[in-house]
Amino acid sequence: MSLLDPPTPMGNGKPDFKCWHDYAAPEKDRISPHLFETGDDLGPVEDFRVPAGNYLAREQHEREREHLWGTVWQMACRLNDIPNVGDYLEYEIGDRSLIIVRDSETSVKALKNACRHRATAMISGKGNTSCFTCPFHGWAYKLDGSLEHVPAGWDFPQFDGSGLREVRCETYNSNVYVNLDDNAAPLIDHIGATMHRNFEAYPDHRMWKSWHFGIVVESNWKIMAEAFFEAYHVPWTHPAYAPGSGDVQGRIDVFGFHHRLISMALIPSFTSGWESTEQEIFDCVMQAAGGFVQIPDGQDPDSLPQMTLPDGVTARRFMADTIRGNWGGQGLDLSGVSETELVDLFSNLIFPNFVSFVGPGGHVTYRFRPNGDDHNSMIFDIANLVPVPGDGPLPPDVPMTMIPRGTLMRDHELAQKVLGQTTLIVDEDVSNSARIQKGLKVSEEIVVGEELEPNIVAFHRNIERWMTGDRRQSR
Ligand code: FES
Ligand SMILES: [Fe+2]
């Protein structure tokens, strides 16, 4: 382009390209009907802007601490993170700490992690115990939080003898959710009927967690969350994946507080103009993102056998057949499942900070939280759920490994071992987030695309709506 050329007109001339509905049409009869439900009307695109202060302002962080994190349901752990009576773990949200404990075979509780005497935090990390004993003066509490013993109890006539403060705790699918607001609506009302249909089609009760990593990211929590809200960035942020990953061909639907992103895999990115052969597309996905492919576990993502596509078979078809074949051999019948549900990515946000990529062959879950009281860094964690065919016991869930701050995922031995080249994708999103944080400091606002990123503007509107007390999920 010469310097004299006029700038490309924005917003004009959307080209014709094949999108998800076109790919889905031939197999419409076997695709789960919930995938055709469409999202809310978000109004004129002129308003699709977000002020930089939503990410950077300390005041915003403090409002979120009180009026978002203090009142919203949030995924704390999986039930199988604490499978045995007495298992507990610490759930931290910002600078608040809770104990999640399996207090009986059939019950899980959330307790504030503070002794009733002088407020010492009772636990950190995870473990198993028969009672919680405070390390300071030895006040002891049963697993359900009730007070068991106070050394020299005669000296506290003013204390009513109640135990660790309980917090609302409910389960949805195989996850434990907590809410610091005693008056919150039930969790299922928050999830709502539309989002529920997106989860019930791919139940996770017979899945085990095969890996789980946590990373400190040098950005506000919302920046990192938004890195997983759209596929528009894929060819530019993840160039090795561009020949095998759609970008603009997918779709986004906002359902009240929540949303769903469909990102298409095993087709080349449209905006970068890749023209890949079907074999190149397939090889690209196996090499760049093998760690995320829904193949049975137990295979090293970097040493999968080279597979040659038969003539005339698309990469999408071949991948779907490979997944069906591999899982069928292990006793999981996916023969009736559509191609798109086996190869594309369907990611659901449960407002505000839990994203689950769901499918019949496994889930990948993401969570985004502020890092303590710091609004300029956050804790990101990513976990992989794998189906277990049959009805035998599930293997124990793998606990979260925290990657040391400043270490790239690709340089972490365990992450490299289980995820291989796929670690690069995560590293690329992490480094983008730090760049965005930097750029926002000299920006007033950002603009977001009408069809490619509408959920980002909805996200900010919903946070504000929530914080100002309108918390009813509409659908
Ligand atoms: S602070 Fe816990 S026993 Fe004193
Ligand atoms: Fe990304």
Instruction: Provide the β-strand partners of residue 167.
Output: 110
- The 10 Å Cβ neighbour count of residue 219 is 27
Regarding pTM above 0.85, the answer is: yes
Beta carbon of 117 within 6 Å of any ligand 1 atom = yes
Q: What is the pLDDT of residue 290?
A: 75
Widest pairwise Cα distance in the chain = 87
Please give the Cα distance from 368 to 217 (Å, whole number).
Answer: 10
Residue nearest to ligand 1 atom 4, measured at CA: 137
CA 331 to ligand 2 center in whole angstroms: 33
Ligand 1 contact via 156 beta carbon (within 6 Å): no
Q: Whose CA is nearest to atom 1 of ligand 1?
A: 118
Q: Which atom of ligand 1 is nearest to the CA of 120?
A: 1
How many Å lie between the centroid of ligand 2 and the Cα of residue 433?
Answer: 10
Tell me, what's the pLDDT at 1? Answer: 46
Identity at 288, one-letter amino acid code: A
* Token pair recorded at residue 473: 């999920």
> What single string gives the DSSP state of each residue in 213-275?
EEEEESS-HHHHHHTTS-STTHHHH-GGGGGGB-SSSSEEEEETTEEEEEE-BSS--TTTT--
Contact criterion met (CB below 8 Å) for 402 and 345: no
Q: Which ligand is nearest to the CA of 247?
A: 2
Tell me the per-residue pLDDT of 222-265, one tens digit each, with 9 for 90 and over: 999 999 999 999 999 999 998 999 999 999 999 999 999 999 99
For ligand 1, whether the C-beta of 139 sits within 6 Å is yes
Residue to mutate (ligand 1; options 116, 122, 139, 147; most atoms within 8 A of CB): 139
Q: What is the pLDDT of residue 299?
A: 55
pLDDT at residue 298, as a whole number:
47
Could you say which ligand is closest to the alpha carbon of residue 289? 2
Q: Which residues are 207's β-sheet partners?
A: 387
**Ligand 1 pocket: which of 116, 120, 123 to mutate (most atoms within 8 A of CB):** 120
User: CB–CB of 164/99 below 8 Å?
Assistant: yes
User: What DSSP assignment string belongs to 374-395?
Assistant: EEEEEEEEEEEEEE--SSSPPP
Residue identified by tokens 């992450």 is 415
What CA–CA distance (Å, rounded) separates 291 from 289?
5
Q: Output the residue whose Cα is nearest ligand 1's atom 3.
A: 137
Length of the chain, in residues: 475
Does the beta carbon of 133 lie inside 6 Å of ligand 1? no
Q: What tokens does 130 get?
A: 């028969």
Looking at residue 295, what is its pLDDT? 59
Domains, the chain, with CATH or none: 25-56+194-467 (3.90.380.10), 74-183 (2.102.10.10)
Low-confidence residues of the chain, pLDDT below 70? Answer: 1-9, 293-305
Question: What is the C-alpha to C-alpha distance for residues 254 and 336, in angstroms, rounded to an integer?
Answer: 28
Using the mean position of ligand 1's atoms as its centre, give its distance from the Cα of residue 120 in Å: 6
Q: How does DSSP assign 338-353, residue by residue?
A: -HHHHHSEEEEEETTT
Index of the ligand 1 atom closest to the CA of residue 116: 2
pLDDT of residue 309: 95
